[in-house]
Amino acid sequence: MKSMNSLMNFRTLVYTLAVTAVLGACKKEYDAPPVRTIPQGQILTVAELRALFTGTPKHFGGDTSIYAVVTADEVNGNLYKNVYIQDHTGALIMRLLSSGGLYQGDSIRIYLPGTVLGSYAGMLQLDSVDVDNNVVKQSTLVHVEPQEVTMSQITPAMQGKLIRLNNVQFVEGDTGRTYANAITQATENRTLEDCNNGTVLVRNSGYSNFAGLPIPNGKGSFTAVVGQFNSDMQLFIRNINEVQLNGPRCGQNECLPIAELDEDFSLAQNNQNIMLECWINVFTEGTRLWKGIVAGSESFCEARPASFDVTTTSWFVSAPVQYSAGMQASFRSAIGNTWQHDGLSVWVSTDIDLVDGTGVANAPWVQLTEAALAGSGSPVGTWFPSGNIPLSNYLNDGDNFVIGFKYTGVPNTQATSYRIDDVLVQ
């Protein structure tokens, strides 16, 4: 009987425990909080909003909204805590309280209370925008066509707008530089010009993902948003792929492929970057280009590393040539100081639309391995013939092609300078 009681007690306890356990086992699921909405209130166009500025910062309190599309965002790093918006009536820059969350093509409603309409160095801006609390997205991937303008149309009236300039190029002093200083991340200005001496500043952030790219030296179209700093109008690149400067520069001829090439560099100027019509002289690493050398009656070109660069890679690309059967190439090369390394290589490519460093670096190159080059055994300054290099292995009848001389060097350790001369393709 006693043992029976024990057993009963035992069971009761187990059941009690089990029930307690089950009751307590409900997993705590969090409810989503009730949806909060941002009221709309009165609707203004961007132009109406801009017109509300009367010279002193305007703090918005009442119910007012504007609808607009984001035309430039922070993704490429050129803008930080800034985005540009536009509707059919006008455009405006918005300054965000914290970075992130708005992307090009977002169609948004901005609820104005809490924001401030003000002017910064002449640029009207909607300040203190809290993306989480002031902005409601309506849709994404909305395309806004840039307004095609000329240099002279870029005035304070264009503030904030997405524009496109055609037939423009960076000034010669900027080609060969990078967009900004990617090392120190310093923001830098570059100058864009048209062929009629009109110019405008292009302001590039050192944090942008294109800061370290070389400035293209061609002419073409340029898409950007318009900013202003005091009396300076400034353009901001929203996407580097919208910088399409790959045509011939102002005053340059179109470079049609030629039937044969015979270049003795007689136009070279001593110790100047060598610029030949239809030839391309660019670097893809470092800062130094191929330079001309005039020594007595001889002129040729030479590449070497710049002493302050880690590595220099520079390309000297011939004018385009049309291939015909049996065509051969030849040139001569020499080293310009005591041999330290083999820095020169010779390549062929059928991509003749190479203009800037990006194009050259990414072109489909094939190395002309048959070319004999000056090397470790060569006396300094003594020319070394390449021999006749048959191009039939690389090209088919009718191909247009260029020959690329690629130089790579490192100061002090791989600092052999290389010279080339008498490039002949026939």
Partner 1 sequence: MNRSILLIGLLIAQRAFAQSDTTLAPMDADTTRASLLADSVQNLNPRTPVITITSDDLDSELGSQDVSGILQSSRDIFTSTAGFNFGSARFRIRGYDSENTLVTINGVLVNDLETGWASWSTWGGLNDVTRYTQVRTGIGATRYNFGSIGGSSDINIRPGALRKGLKVSYASANRAYNNRLMVSGSTGLLQNGWSFSFSGSRRWAEEGYVPGTSFNAYAYYMAAEHKIDKRHTVSFAGFGAPLVRGRQGVAIQEAYDLAGTNYYNPNWGYQDGVKRNARMNFDHKPLMMVSHIFTPTDSINWTTSLVYTFGRDGATGLNWFDAKDPRPDYYRYLPSYNADENPALAAEQSTAWRLDPNVQQINWDQLYFANGKNLYSVLNADGTGETITGNRSKYIVEEQRADPSRVGLNSVYSRILKNDQHLTVGGSFNHQRTHYFKTIDDLLGGDFWVDIDQFADRDFNDTLISQNDLTRPNKVVREGDVFGWDYDIHTRLVNVFGQYEKKWTTLEVYAGLQLAQTSFWRVGNVQNGRFPDTSEGKGPTNDFFNVGVKAGAIYKLTGRHFIAANAAYLNRPPTSNNAFISARTRPNTIPGLQSENVMSTDIGYVVRYARLKARATLYYTKLANQVWSRYYYNDEALTIVNYSMSGVDQINKGVELGVEANLTSTWQMTAVYAGGDYRYASRPLATITRNNSAEVFASNRTVYWENYKVGGMPQTAASLGLRYNSPKYWFAGVNGNYFGNIYLDPNPDRRTVEAIGNYVSTDPQVTQLLDQEQLEDNFTVDAFAGKSWMIKRKYRIAANVSVSNILDNQDFKVGGFEQLRYDRTEVGKFPPKYSYLYGRNYFAMVTFSF
Instruction: Give the interface with partner 1 as residue ranges (CB under 8 A).
Output: 6, 9-10, 13-14, 17, 20-21, 24-25, 27-28, 30-36, 38, 76-77, 97-101, 103, 105-106, 131-133, 135-141, 209
Structure tokens at 108: 């948004």
When the beta carbons of 101 and 113 are compared against partner 1, the nearer one is 101
CB of 30 to partner 1, least distance (A): 6
When the beta carbons of 57 and 173 are compared against partner 1, the nearer one is 57
C-alpha to C-alpha distance for 179 and 216, rounded to whole angstroms: 9
CB of 8 to partner 1, least distance (A): 12
Q: Which residues contact 126 (CB under 8 A, 6 or more apart)?
A: 49, 92, 93, 94, 95, 110, 112, 115, 116, 117
**End-to-end CA separation in angstroms for the chain:** 118
CB of 177 to partner 1, least distance (A): 20
CB of 213 to partner 1, least distance (A): 12
CB of 202 to partner 1, least distance (A): 19
Pairing relationship of beta strands 344-349 and 261-263 according to DSSP bridges: unpaired
**Residue 118 carries which side chain, given as an amino acid letter?**
G
C-alpha to C-alpha distance for 103 and 274, rounded to whole angstroms: 43
When the beta carbons of 208 and 386 are compared against partner 1, the nearer one is 208
How distant is the alpha carbon of residue 94 from its chain centre? 23
When the beta carbons of 1 and 141 are compared against partner 1, the nearer one is 141
When the beta carbons of 130 and 370 are compared against partner 1, the nearer one is 130
**Residue 163, beta-bridge partner list:** 147, 224
CB of 105 to partner 1, least distance (A): 8
Is residue 74 a contact partner of residue 99, using CB atoms and an 8 Å limit? yes
CA dihedral sign of residues 404, 410, 411, 416: negative
CB of 99 to partner 1, least distance (A): 6
CB of 97 to partner 1, least distance (A): 8
When the beta carbons of 70 and 352 are compared against partner 1, the nearer one is 70
When the beta carbons of 100 and 398 are compared against partner 1, the nearer one is 100
Give me the phi and psi of 357, to 5 degrees please: -60, -35
When the beta carbons of 13 and 171 are compared against partner 1, the nearer one is 13
CB of 224 to partner 1, least distance (A): 19
| Burial of residue 298 (number of CB atoms within 10 Å: 0-12, 13-18, 19+) | middle
Scanning the structure block, which residue is given the tokens 């423009």?
Answer: 168
Quick one: DSSP state of residue 24? T
When the beta carbons of 81 and 88 are compared against partner 1, the nearer one is 81
Q: Which helix or strand (DSSP H or E) is residue 62 part of?
A: none
User: Count of CB atoms within 10 A of residue 170's CB?
Assistant: 25
Is residue 421 a contact partner of residue 381, using CB atoms and an 8 Å limit? no
Closest-CA residue to 355 (of 273, 246, 258, 251): 246
